[in-house]
Chain A
């Protein structure tokens, strides 16, 4: 079973702070990594799909990097806003068979 780990488990920041979280995954048989944003009482929504070592993706104030050789990805949020409060999930696909295994998530709380 693929083991995907996220840290920290939770994070409390002030509005305007920049923050980052980590997703670790086995590097062997790596195929793709997904990041999802999950707001309370809603369903998860995709932020990024990343496949190549050194990939960097950006959407507004949120960006992500990928290191497939060492098996980690970072998600960055610049200038956090209260509306960024959510759980951020990463998921790894470990071969072309395509099943996605999620980490436990990082719960972000941004205080005004």
Chain B
């Protein structure tokens, strides 16, 4: 049971470098999302996707890009890393969005999380 797989688990970057956090899920979930966790702030939504080819911004999208070319993968790109992006990043997916391809009616499925990626930007 792979579930949601994130790589890398740890990464240290210098300011201005770029990198991609990878996320893959094998549950055929339509909805995928990226969150960042900072002390005292819970989980803040960066970007999300309700299906292949569809992405949208969350609460804190600046400095991050995403794409969704397949159902399984949802990479998060940092184009020019800044110290403010030092955080723990979580990818999460869930079952069908109401009206989506899976034809679930309710769109309320619980999130399944990856193990997290700790990013430090110096």
Contacts and interface: CB of A to CB of B under 8 A. Distances in A.
Nearest to B4: A43
B42 interface: yes
Contacts of B33: 99-100
Interface residues of A, number: 26
Contacts of B114: 43
Main secondary structure of the interface of B (DSSP, over half): loop
Nearest to A89: B42
Contact of A102 (B44, B107, B115): B44
Contacts of A51: 106, 108
Interface residues of B, number: 30
A99 B42 contact: no
A96 B107 contact: yes
B45 A98 contact: no
B75 interface: no
B43 A89 contact: yes
A97 B45 contact: no
A99 B108 contact: no
Nearest to B97: A98
7 contacts: A36-B111, A43-B115, A49-B109, A91-B111, A97-B50, A100-B45, A104-B42
